Structure 1
């Protein structure tokens, strides 16, 4: 397998400036196909801006983004979604007054391209139920299928969001701080869930807390002040003095309980 085929996503000197402020500075990222890759850093490190560049919510000032061997630097977010790059958001994005099953059916319907066929009878969606229940089972929500989404705990809403993201059949699944605002029990559940759904796809996740990515991530890229500070497996990155300094000691506390 060629080097290019090994990586599903690459950036080349990716840079974003805002009125003279360099938010992302010549970042070279390589996301290996079939892996879980974490992009982390303290607040203000540039990771969210970098993520927005990768998902085409922002356009880079300079540099290139290559996905699956194709330069997507100037493509829109809708174009790259059709290529299989699907993003879930930092804030839960589910339909609160639809049932859990209906939320997943809507996502499956979008995949079928019938989203705007409002004249179709609702029973025409019943064919999607089996696949929707498979996806709910994958995220341990099958027993909540009949509940409205608003009744779910915060952690389970995030699991539902992952199910709807999976319904779009991503080749590259981008998760934006998937555990933000969760208690420890929910964090553990989502970490296990990410490992499970990554079995046959690539996951790139943004996180600020290194302890969250310690077990699921194969590779961790640490950003600080918009540039790559360190990259490698958790065992290596977590001992890097520059990384510990960037976290101003807070990483040290988090890392002790991360195993």
Structure 2
């Protein structure tokens, strides 16, 4: 049934001055799952992601969110509909503490940006929810630390907390492990698994070990088209996928 899928694309296509970056992509993201979008360099992953999140407008095709056509909807309106892209919409302010960053996001959710300039007493009313969100991402002990002083991995955890403040039904993660050391990768993977318990996650990720461990479904793109789709055990044995990665170890979690 259609309502099993929170996001669907139909013949999604993007051309740049005659170059077809994404070609007739039909993607269906099942509700309450972690769905990964992978592929070798130049596969069209980022373009596809930007189309779904409306940072790019498709040349043709259709994008549905909960059965609603959002093909021409602006990114801010899509966020209000419950689909939020982390690391893009959620800004972290380096001079503010972790708690203050989450409070700003909560104010945005309330639609009261002027709240930012109100008294400390007014802002304190948001503290309980902000502390709960920090605890959800394992960041409560850093509540009073300036965001600019956090490690790269913890800064990303804070970004997820600010995104969760918007109460998204679907969370889109653009290369969440990029630039991380192994300790931060493990911590962030646990975090993604935890936050996915009550929402849907679509992510673009190069770390195939993370993809293997986290994803329910994987869509592999090559030259802008869907090459294969399925669970990791299935796609990692697909000869076309192995060839596309040219021995980069898709079957060995490289």
TM-score where L is the length of structure 2? 0.96
1:237 maps to what in 2?
235
1:62 maps to what in 2?
60
Q: Separation in 2 of the partners of 1:24 and 1:166?
A: 29
Please report how far the alpha carbon of residue 118 of structure 1 lies from its aligned counterpart in structure 2 after TM superposition.
5.0
Q: Separation in 2 of the partners of 1:92 and 1:249?
A: 36
One of 179, 184, 187 as aligned partner of 1:186: 184
Please report how far the alpha carbon of residue 178 of structure 1 lies from its aligned counterpart in structure 2 after TM superposition.
0.3
Verify the 8 A CA contact 1:90 1:178 in the aligned structure 2. Answer: no
Verify the 8 A CA contact 1:93 1:161 in the aligned structure 2. Answer: yes
Q: Separation in 2 of the partners of 1:238 and 1:123?
A: 55
Does residue 220 of the first structure (1) align with residue 215 of the second (2)? no
Residues 131-186 of structure 1 deviation map (CA, whole Å, 9 limit, x = unaligned):
11111111110001010011111000111111111000001100000000001111
1:38 counterpart SS class: strand
Give the 4+ runs in structure 1 shifted more than 3 A. 90-93
Verify the 8 A CA contact 1:92 1:157 in the aligned structure 2. Answer: no
2:35 maps to what in 1?
37
Question: How has the CA–CA distance of structure 1 residues 239 and 73 changed in structure 2, closer, same or farther, with 3 Å as cutoff?
Answer: same
Verify the 8 A CA contact 2:227 2:240 in the aligned structure 1. Answer: yes
One of 94, 114, 117 as aligned partner of 1:116: 114
1:26 counterpart SS class: strand
Verify the 8 A CA contact 2:90 2:162 in the aligned structure 1. Answer: no
Q: Separation in 2 of the partners of 1:247 and 1:125?
A: 50
Matches within 5 A, 1:100-115: 100-115=98-113
Please report how far the alpha carbon of residue 123 of structure 1 lies from its aligned counterpart in structure 2 after TM superposition.
2.0
Does residue 154 of the first structure (1) align with residue 152 of the second (2)? yes
Q: State the aligned residue count.
A: 254
1:250 counterpart SS class: coil
Q: Separation in 1 of the partners of 2:98 and 2:116?
A: 20
Verify the 8 A CA contact 2:90 2:163 in the aligned structure 1. Answer: no
Verify the 8 A CA contact 1:39 1:220 in the aligned structure 2. Answer: yes
Does residue 256 of the first structure (1) align with residue 252 of the second (2)? yes
Note the aligned Cα RMSD (angstroms). Answer: 1.5
Please report how far the alpha carbon of residue 91 of structure 1 lies from its aligned counterpart in structure 2 after TM superposition.
11
Does residue 207 of the first structure (1) align with residue 205 of the second (2)? yes
TM-score where L is the length of structure 1? 0.95
1:138 maps to what in 2?
136
One of 116, 126, 129 as aligned partner of 1:128: 126
Question: How has the CA–CA distance of structure 1 residues 187 and 126 changed in structure 2, closer, same or farther, with 3 Å as cutoff?
Answer: same
1:11 maps to what in 2?
9
Verify the 8 A CA contact 2:104 2:116 in the aligned structure 1. Answer: no
- Unpaired runs of at least 5, structure 1: none
Of residues 206-215 and 27-36 in structure 1, the stretch that sits farther from structure 2 once superposed is 206-215
